[in-house]
Structure 1
Amino acid sequence: MEEQIMNESVKTKKALRGSLFALFLCIVLLIGTTFAWFTDTASTGVNKIQAGNLKVGLEYKNAENKTFTSVTEETKVFNDGALWEPGHVEYAVLKVKNEGNLALKYKLGVNIASEKGSTNVNGDAFKLSDYINFAVVDGDQSNLDRAALVAAAGEGQSINKGYSKESHLDTTGADETVTLVVWMPETVGNEANHATNAEAPEINLGVNVAATQKDYESDSFGNTYDKNATYPTIVQNTKALNDAITEATDGKANVKLPKDTKVTLDNGIAQGDNRRNVTITGDGNSSEVDVITKSVAAEGGQLNYQRGSTFTFDNLNIQAGTGNFDGIVCDKLVFKNCTITGKLTLYGKATFVNCTFDNTMANQYSIWTWGGTDVKFDKCTFNTNGKAILLYGQATAANPTNLTVNNCTFNDRNKGAAEKAAIEVGNDYNATYNLVVNDAKVYGFADGKNTGSKLWANKNKMDAAHLSVTIDGKKVH
């Protein structure tokens, strides 16, 4: 028995020595490693981020065109050759369609783009719009005859009151259809019958659709991120432009000018308590904003005062001034994809992107910085008779004029006859300027005074304490 116990003791000691050795081995093997929590991994596939597409379409059909056809700015939705008289009725069926993949809300508008009055057989002046009625009826009513269509339209209203409808299309391919009915009531008499020796009256009727995002799609926090998206307001005359700016309730006016629309910016409509953030967009070819004609004579120039406001002009022709101080007085100007005719003097921050300056004046700059603070030109072209940019004004060391010119082209038709460099720097007020130019192309300009450079001139020999010039990354003054 004692021997058995001893044998068990020996076995136990051997087992303990084996366990201690195993523990020691584990400790040795773990020296230099780090204990960690249990871990595991899982991966998703590649996650695609794709931009949505918001696109609204407008189609029409009428008595001559029986199938729906896409509307462009060239489309005549009514019979253009019709001669209106009492009892005459025209219709156009309009279909608004969601052609993108984002939900949208839209505004359908019908209004008079322009009108030409005349004189009737009684010798009285009149406008045709006072004697034309219209109505908008839901659905496609093209199967109705004349009497039934007028009956469906009800009393209607005078066409000069215009029409506006708001609705929404949430899914791709969704559409809504209305029938626009226009007629001259049978009760109209000679008051709308123009005299044979008078020019015929006419109306240019505008039909337009503006669309924006609708609060339908969701992100991580719900579908409210675009609930305040606003429509562009389509304007076709100066009064409509000014009304769109002054009536913008949220301080932002987003305006679109259709093809062949020319408007004038009235002085003082967006300043003080009426200051606005205004964006005006055109078609790039024929829409124009005149910023000078309705300005006021002040401080040596024609000034369009819009103090406190920001104006962005996009895809437009801009009619500027001709005098030394002519310009818009506001906090910030942005011009994108514009053709600017004439001369602009700056009175605040200003940015020009992909603009063309068409300057045919014999002895005038395209740009005078004067009251400009941070002024930037990017990918712009200056077509001139020898004067492009004048960096000149009353900037101080505390508030210098910072002029940056990137990737711009300067053309002098007269090949240096004006004896100016592309960027002239002048100083009569102990001013302070910072000029940075990168990748400029200069053709035809003269060598600049005190620099010998066709790109820039230091005509008043400003010292380095007041003028810093960096060209293509190298400080040259």
Structure 2
Amino acid sequence: MNNKRATKRALLTSVMALVMCVVMLVGTTFAWFTDTASTGVNKIQAGNLDIELEMKNASGGWDKAEGKTLQFKKAAGHEGEEVLWEPGCRYELPELRIVNKGNLALKYKITVNGVTGDAKLLKAIDFTAKMGGTEIALDSLNDAILPSGAAPTLAGEAVGETAPITIKGVMKTTAGNEYQGLSIDGIGITVVATQYTYEKDSIDDQYDANANATIQVNKDNIQDYLDGKYGSIDGMTLVLAEGNYGRIEFGRATAYAGSNTKYYCGGNESNPAAIKKDIADHPNGGAGKREYVRSMSNVTLKAADGAAVTINGLVAFGGQVNSTKWYSRDFVADRDMSATENNNICYWIGQRWSNITFEGLTFTGGVNIEAYGNKDTLIDNVKFDNCKFNVDDTNANAYCIRLTVDGNTARANNLVVTNCEFTDGTTAVLTDGMPNVTVTDSTFSGLVRHAINPMMNELPNAPGYGKITVTGNTFKNMSTKADKGTILRMGEVGAGAVFTIKNNTATEGITLANSIKVNSLADGITYDISGNNWGGLTASHTRLDG
């Protein structure tokens, strides 16, 4: 009997050991990402993307430049003298190079984004660059570096390291007395790198074609980056350092090549120099109509991890600019918009955006984006994620997010608001001419009019409503205009609209006119409305209850 029990016990132990081996094998096989994992003779090796910025030392060798402030060089024999900036002077930084220390191909971008001294003086200095023996625009300091030993397939691909790079600053001869007494002792250089389409997977080399790069910005240089001073921001994530930021002028046209702006004068394609000359040739007015089209795609503005970033409003505009309400000056023609300029003041601007994201930011002034009457404007897919809005509602037009277009000439497509917090303000989310609006998992309180207000005021030329999605939101303390305010307010809703309104909750302090209110509902609308607790509020039409 004892031998039989021992045999059973041994057999059971063997079976359990076998099961554990199988479990361990399965667990290893399905690891998501690791440096090295092997089963049998198969091996999975993670690639390594690593760059190093180096500077040439006095002996002709190369030292690590990371974390160092680069000092401007004086002419030979005058190394110990002070660096003094005056109109027309030229100072160079030490030679730099970028080294690919990893085993993956990468694409890089170089920017001047730090300063020791007076940042204001940067506005009076033009930076140029030279790579090897070739002059190159500062905003063109971007290309690819293959790992050592790789074979280039395209022009411009370096192997292992770049040619030496020299960055030179020239003080503008037009710099005025306001720059006297200011100083810049050193400059900070940032290199950002991300994956480059070189290595092939089982299909091709395009799996990382849309890899984004990140760059650190602060309240002193963010506008320069947005303007394209340091190159295109397409495909970039701008990480905002902690601080209180002033009003951001988003999407303004500039003369920088990195702004991706197209220029037109009198209906013909032009350039900033020709536009300036045209204005100078018409001192009493009559210069050609100026139109600029600014393009941006796949751009993200986000707060640095754990950083408190507050922004006192953001504006963007498409249409005729004839005052400083939107943009503070004409940055292409380099002209003020003030009363001192009596002629040739106004210009037109179009906005071509796709996939613009704001993440983790706190707005103390509203986001105001407007475009009317400009055929070149298309604002496609704007997203606010995990943002906070605390906008003073003493102004009757204090909207937290306002994105309005005529929907016919100037067009927009999609707005997404997720996991945001709205405190005070007139209306939290106001759109016009925007067919698709999604608001999810957000909280609203203290508003004096509507929480969410997608309108179509330019019908019949506007596109009409598309998909309106409002799910998982919480509303409270909205009662100031009980005769007019609503949680969701829309206009004339035509056939083809799709409503998804689910699992929203209205809690304390809600004494509004309606939960949902529309001007009219056509036949042919798709409704998915359920699971909402409106706190006793009813909709303006029974088809909207639920």
Partner of residue 201 from structure 2, selected from 196, 219, 231 = 219
CA deviations over 1:144-172 (Å, ceiling 9, x no partner):
xxxxxxxxxx9x989x957725342438x
- How far off its partner does 1:355 sit? 5.1
Residues 436 and 468 of structure 2 are in contact (CA less than 8 Å); yes or no, is this contact kept in structure 1? yes
Q: 2:418 is aligned with what amino acid?
A: N
Unaligned 5+ segments in structure 1 are 1-43, 119-125, 138-153, 451-455
Is 2:301 the partner of 1:282? yes
1:405 to partner: Cα distance: 1.8
Percent of aligned pairs sharing the same letter:
14
CA distance in 2, matches of 1:135, 1:218: 32
Which residue identity lines up with residue 195 of structure 2 in the other structure?
Q
- Residues 378-432 of structure 1: CA distance to partner in whole angstroms, max 9, x if unpaired? 33344543442124335789943431123334454xx5334376623244x4656
**Letter matched to residue 457 of structure 1:** I
Query: Letter of the aligned partner of 1:282 in structure 2?
Result: L
What SS class does the counterpart of residue 467 from structure 2 fall into? strand
Q: 1:352–1:380: 8 Å Cα contact kept in structure 2? A: no
Secondary structure of the corresponding residue to residue 205 of structure 2: coil
Alpha-carbon distance in 2 for matches of 1:280, 1:323? 16
What do the CA deviations read for 1:217-240 (whole angstroms, capped 9, x no partner)?
33234x433585577596956565
Equivalent positions of 1:407-422 (< 5 A) are: 407-410=472-475, 412=477, 416-419=479-482
Post-superposition offset of 1:437: 2.7
2:69 pairs, out of 56, 70, 77, with 77
Q: Output the CA distance in 2 between the equivalents of 1:390 and 1:107.
A: 41
Q: When the two structures are superposed, what TM-score results if normalisation uses the length of structure 2? A: 0.49
Residue 457 (1) aligns with residue 483 (2): no
Query: Cα deviation per residue 1:52-93 (whole Å; 9 max; x = unaligned)?
Result: 667445566899xxx98895xxx553479x962499997587
| 1:322 to partner: Cα distance | 6.2
Which of these residues, 420, 424, 436, is aligned with residue 374 of structure 1?
436
- Partner of residue 106, structure 1: 108
Which residue identity is paired with 2:438?
K
Question: What is the letter of the counterpart of residue 266 of structure 1?
Answer: R
1 CA distance for matches of 2:65 and 2:505? Answer: 43
Find the aligned partners of 2:128 and 2:227 in 1 and give their Cα distance: 27
Partner letter of residue 278 of structure 1?
A: S
The equivalences for 1:262-273 within 5 A come to 264-266=250-252
Name the stretch that deviates more: 264-273 or 398-407: 264-273
Q: Which residue of 2 aligns with 1:23?
A: none
Structure 1 residues 89, 400: CA separation in 2 closer, same or farther (over 3 Å shift)? closer
Q: Which protein is bigger by CA-based radius of gyration?
A: 1
RMSD: 6.0
Take 2:319 and 2:237, find their aligned partners in 1: how far apart are those partners?
25
SS of 1:385 mapped into structure 2:
coil
Which one has the bigger strand percentage?
2
TM-score by length of 1: 0.55
1:341-379, CA deviations, whole angstroms, 9 ceiling, x for partnerless residues? 533134433232535355643xx2121233221211233
Equivalent residue, structure 2, for 1:13: none
Who is 2:451 aligned against? 388
Whole-Å separation in 1 of the counterparts to 2:475 and 2:192: 38
Say which SS state the counterpart of residue 282 (structure 1) adopts: strand
- Please point out which of 293, 315, 322 is paired with 2:359: 315
Letter of the aligned partner of 2:297 in structure 1? V
Q: Which secondary structure state, in structure 2, belongs to the residue aligned with residue 457 of structure 1?
A: strand
Q: Alpha carbons of 1:464 and 1:237: their partners in 2 closer, same or farther (altered >3 Å)?
A: same
Q: In 2, Cα distance between the equivalents of 1:193 and 1:325?
A: 33
What letter matches 2:356 in structure 1? T
Name stretches of at least 5 consecutive residues in structure 2 with no aligned partner.
1-24, 34-45, 73-80, 149-158, 255-260, 270-292, 328-347, 390-399, 406-411, 534-543
Decide whether the 8 Å contact of 2:131 with 2:165 is kept in 1: yes
Equivalent residue number for residue 166 of structure 1:
143
Aligned residues: 378
Are the aligned partners of 2:51 and 2:193 in contact in 1 as well (CA < 8 Å)?
A: no
Write the distance in 1 (CA, Å) between the matches of 2:379 and 2:176. 50
Does the residue aligned with 2:240 lie in a helix, a strand or coil?
coil
**1:196–1:464 distance in 2 versus 1, CA, 3 Å:** closer
In the TM superposition, 1:292-441 aligns within 5 A as 292=315, 295-296=318-319, 306=350, 309-315=353-359, 317=361, 326=370, 330-337=378-385, 339=387, 342-347=400-405, 348-354=412-418, 356=420, 358=422, 360-361=424-425, 364-382=426-444, 384-386=446-448, 387-394=450-457, 399-410=464-475, 412=477, 416-419=479-482, 423-427=487-491, 429=492, 434-441=498-505
Match of 1:210 in 2: 192
1:182 and 1:389 map into 2 onto residues whose CA distance is 50
Distance in 2, Cα, partners of 1:96 & 1:444:
60
- Partners of 2:434 and 2:129 lie apart in 1 by 50
For 1:259, the aligned partner's letter is L
Does the Cα contact within 8 Å between 1:340 and 1:355 map onto a contact in 2?
no
